[in-house]
Structure formats: structure tokens, C-alpha cells
């Protein structure tokens, strides 16, 4: 079948302008391009479909703060300016998941998020997901920030959108196993407890599955290739541990941001997994 498609692909390519081919090749060369595009899609979906009230000042401050801090560290360290793409991803995650009353709270979150990548490192890799670290640090330090899972509603369109686009990103960064291991264990534990043990209706379980913040966490935060174990087996074990802790925090401690706290608590285990279960090192396309 693939050999039959080759003439068709060549014919289509011959009619494609060189500039379009160059742009398509550049876009597909780095998974971070997909992440930025999809995060922007979710942000626009929230603003225009879900009615979020987000000021342009807030968006610009978060993005510019993350880019400025990243550029400052790059200037004095690696000189790898493609790292600005990663800072843009972190800034979009903060825009999507964090709420605050003061604009300075967002500045603090952005500064701490990007700084953690360069200041908290083990074996040449940052320990924490930057956005996760920045959001939770802002929550603890200021008391002005919060995460609102309810802002995403429970639309089936959202489930399909995040699921389909998230799969594309995970296939590019080869972290599909991490997301599936986390969701399988976390949702499995919730199903056993809520449906089988407590006898709650299935509608409640599907409502949990359709939470935008949980899906974004599963597809774009816990799967950060620079902050997850290198070995596939280690990633699945680690993701399952994050899921168990998140389930315990949400059901026993009643913390609605349990996955975020579980991730930051167990991220320090990643260097240990890499030491005792080594795997191929991941590097972004330069």
C-alpha cells in the first residue's frame, strides 16, 4: 500500500509551493510546535466557546515574563535559543490552568516556573515540570492564585478535542505510555471506589473523565519528556505512582488539584528511575 501511495505523494508534492513545503517541514521537525499550536487552540476554545474572561494584558504578561526569564538564562548558559519554545509552552500552560486576582501573581508564577528549569537540575535535566512548579509555588507563596477545574465545563466536544490533539503530541514526543498509565490507574481507582464500591451512577464517572484540567494534565504536563523517566517501563511505573497518590489526595484529603500536587511530590523520583532503569536520553530537535 505504501508503495502505491508514493507516486501520489510525489504528485501532490510537485504541486505544493516550495515555501509551503519548507514551512510544513519546519513545523513537523519539532514536537514543541504542535504543543504550542494545540495549547493556543484550547485557549481560544475557552475564550470563545466557554466564555472565559481573560484580558490580553494577562496573556501578554505571562508569555513575556516566561520568554524574558528563559532568554536571560540562555544567554548565560547554553546559548540554545530554541529553548524559547519550551518557555512559550510553559507560559501557555499557566494561562490555561491558573487563575489569580493580581497580575503580579502571574509574573511570580512565570519567573519561578522558568527559573526552576535551570536552578533545580539533576543529571543535566530539570527535576520539575516548569508550569507545575510555577503554579503550585504561586499558590503556596501568595494565597492569591488558584486552579479552577470547573472552568472547562463538561462538553463532549472538549473531550474529543483534547484527546485527539493530545494523541498527536504524545506520538511526536513518544510519551503515550505515560499518559495512558496515569489515566488507566487514576480512572480505574475512581471507578472501583465510586461505581463498584459506593454505587454511584456511571454518569458521575464519565463527568470526571471529561474534566478539561485532568485531560490537559494527562496529555501536556505529566508527559513532559524532559521531566519523565527515560525508560518506558520506568515511565509507566512512575506514572502509576503519580496516579495512586493523586487518587488518594483527591478522595481522602479532598484536594481538587490532586494531580498537580502528586506530580510535584513524585518528580524527585525521576532521577532515581533514570539511575536504576536507564533509557535513551531525550533531546528536543534543535
pLDDT at 284: 67
Q: Tell me: the pLDDT tens digits for 203-219?
A: 777 776 666 778 788 88
Asked if residue 84 lies in contact with residue 67, where contact means CB atoms within 8 angstroms, the answer is yes
DSSP 122: E
Dump the DSSP string for 125-154: EESS-HHHHHHHHHHHHHS-EEE-GGGGTT
pTM of the model: 0.87
Q: Which three cell numbers stand for residue 143?
A: 494565597
Residue range 104-160, pLDDT digits in tens: 999 999 999 999 999 999 988 999 999 999 999 999 999 899 987 766 665 555 655
Amino acid at each position: 500500500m505504501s508503495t502505491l501511495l508514493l507516486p501520489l505523494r510525489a504528485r501532490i508534492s510537485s504541486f505544493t509551493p516550495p515555501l509551503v513545503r519548507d514551512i510544513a517541514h519546519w513545523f513537523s521537525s519539532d514536537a514543541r510546535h504542535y504543543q504550542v499550536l494545540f495549547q493556543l487552540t484550547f485557549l481560544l476554545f475557552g475564550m470563545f466557546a466557554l466564555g472565559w474572561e481573560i484580558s490580553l494584558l494577562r496573556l501578554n504578561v505571562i508569555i513575556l515574563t516566561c520568554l524574558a526569564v528563559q532568554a536571560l538564562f540562555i544567554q548565560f548558559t547554553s546559548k540554545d535559543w530554541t529553548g524559547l519554545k519550551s518557555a512559550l509552552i510553559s507560559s501557555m500552560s499557566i494561562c490555561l490552568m491558573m487563575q489569580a486576582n493580581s497580575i503580579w501573581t502571574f509574573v511570580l508564577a512565570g519567573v519561578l516556573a522558568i527559573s526552576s528549569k535551570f536552578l533545580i537540575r539533576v543529571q543535566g535535566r530539570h527535576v520539575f515540570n516548569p508550569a507545575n512548579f510555577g503554579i503550585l509555588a504561586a499558590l503556596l507563596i501568595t494565597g492569591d492564585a488558584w486552579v479552577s477545574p470547573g472552568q472547562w465545563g463538561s462538553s463532549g466536544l472538549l473531550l474529543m478535542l483534547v484527546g485527539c490533539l493530545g494523541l498527536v503530541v504524545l506520538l511526536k514526543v513518544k510519551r503515550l505510555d505515560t499518559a495512558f498509565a496515569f489515566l488507566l490507574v487514576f480512572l480505574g481507582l475512581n471507578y472501583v471506589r465510586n461505581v463498584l464500591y459506593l454505587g454511584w451512577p456511571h454518569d458521575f464517572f464519565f463527568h470526571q473523565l471529561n474534566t478539561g484540567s485532568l485531560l490537559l494534565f494527562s496529555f501536556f504536563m505529566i508527559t513532559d519528556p524532559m521531566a519523565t523517566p527515560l525508560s518506558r517501563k520506568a515511565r509507566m511505573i512512575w506514572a502509576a505512582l503519580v496516579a495512586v497518590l493523586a487518587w488518594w489526595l483527591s478522595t481522602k484529603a479532598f484536594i481538587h488539584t490532586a494531580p498537580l500536587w502528586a506530580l510535584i511530590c513524585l518528580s524527585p523520583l525521576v532521577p532515581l528511575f533514570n539511575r536504576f532503569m536507564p533509557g535513551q536520553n531525550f533531546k528536543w530537535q534543535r
